[in-house]
Amino acid sequence: MKIMFISDIHGVDSTLEQVLDIAKEICPAKIAILGDVLYHGPRNGVPEFYNPQRVAALLNENKKLFIAVRGNCDTEVDQMMLSFPVLARSAHIMLEDGTSFFLTHGHIWDESNFEKIFDGNAILVHGHTHLPVNKLSEKGFRVFNPGSISLPKGGHPRTFGLYDTDTHELTIRLLDDWKKVYNP
């Protein structure tokens, strides 16, 4: 079984289409969306290929695949366009093998305050920064950010995350060449 992690779509339909094409190959049990789904946000310029209506349609067509959390750019009007919940501040995925993922956008809970809200061996999975990260924190828990599929920052390429229950590998993958692991 596989789980894909994507973040910061920001209304760009072409990159979401790439993710969905990759999902047809990978056949994930779930795709976790880590916020900032439709709106590009006031700090970002309008992205090339900005088409939030098409993003909503693509997501709604595949709604059973998704588990989502609210980003700092997501609002009630976004929820009105989407037919699955996107406004929870966090979500939790617990796998049969004991692997636990705490999903959040990253603007409220992040590496600095994660241990205050979650006790255990959960992996903190968040977006928000548009910077891919896969590391152990100084406090001993794993921090994972798949980067952004649409508006990467810091000179990074467009990326997403992948967890494989067979190998127990949590990796960052290049959107344009998904079989390649990206090590930022």
pLDDT averaged per 10 residues in sequence order, the chain, 184 residues = 97 97 97 95 79 97 98 96 97 91 93 74 93 92 96 97 95 97 94
Question: What's the pLDDT score for residue 24?
Answer: 98
Question: What's the pLDDT score for residue 40?
Answer: 83
Would you mind telling me the total number of residues written for the chain in this entry?
184
What radius of gyration, in Å, describes the C-alpha atoms of the chain?
Answer: 15
Question: What's the pLDDT score for residue 178?
Answer: 97
Question: What's the pLDDT score for residue 139?
Answer: 84
Residue type, 5: F
Contact 107, 73 (CB under 8 A): no
**Distance between CA atoms of residues 175 and 54, nearest Å:** 19
At residue 144, what are phi and psi to the nearest 5 degrees? Answer: -135, 125
100-104 and 123-125 beta bridge pairing:
parallel
**Distance between CA atoms of residues 171 and 182, nearest Å:** 8
**Distance between CA atoms of residues 39 and 73, nearest Å:** 6
Closest CA to 72 of 135, 6, 10: 10
Question: What's the pLDDT score for residue 120?
Answer: 64
Question: What's the pLDDT score for residue 69?
Answer: 98
Contact 102, 39 (CB under 8 A): no
Instruction: Extract the tokens encoding 53.
Output: 């209506």
Question: What's the pLDDT score for residue 119?
Answer: 61
